[in-house]
Amino acid sequence: MSFLGNLLLWLHIGFAIFAIGPVTATTMFTPRYIRAKDVAVLRYLHRSTRIFGVLTLGVFLFGLALGGSNLGKPYLSVSMTLFIVAAVLLIMIDRDQGTAVRVLSNEAQDDDAKVQTGRIAMLSSIMALIWLVILALMVWFNPS
């Protein structure tokens, strides 16, 4: 593999480790702090989810550059499709985090963000499973 190929591979793996891992952790911790009604931590998790969510695009972009002429292979097509699905789930989680922060910031006792708690827990679990499926596809089907 050329120097550029190695560089793209390292950037792809680095972004996967330092962006996808933290975004998964922040989304998984969110329901716990919604139940605890800790708005300060929720704001932090919401901001972190946005930052790391944007950084996950680096994984996709460096993966596209790394794939080059092999993008037509089935395992890459499935992986890219799953990544897009996970990105949509991440947008939905971000929206629900914002709603939970807004609801819990109000002093009204009638809404405690239970809907957001369940939905964020479900969507973040599905998103984490999608990341694992993509990882398995990259490890088992990658010829190099």
pLDDT digits (tens, 9 = 90+) for 49-86: 999 999 999 999 999 998 888 888 999 999 999 999 99
Q: How many CA atoms lie within 13 A of 31 on its CB side?
A: 15
Range of the domain at 39: 3-141
Domains identified in the chain, total number:
1
Distances (CA, A) of 30 to 17, 48, 140: 20, 11, 32
Contact 33, 41 (CB under 8 A): yes
Helix, strand, coil: what percent of the chain each, to 5? 85, 0, 15
- Closest by CA to 119, choosing from 96, 95, 91, 100, is 96
State yes or no: pLDDT of 124 exceeds 80.
yes
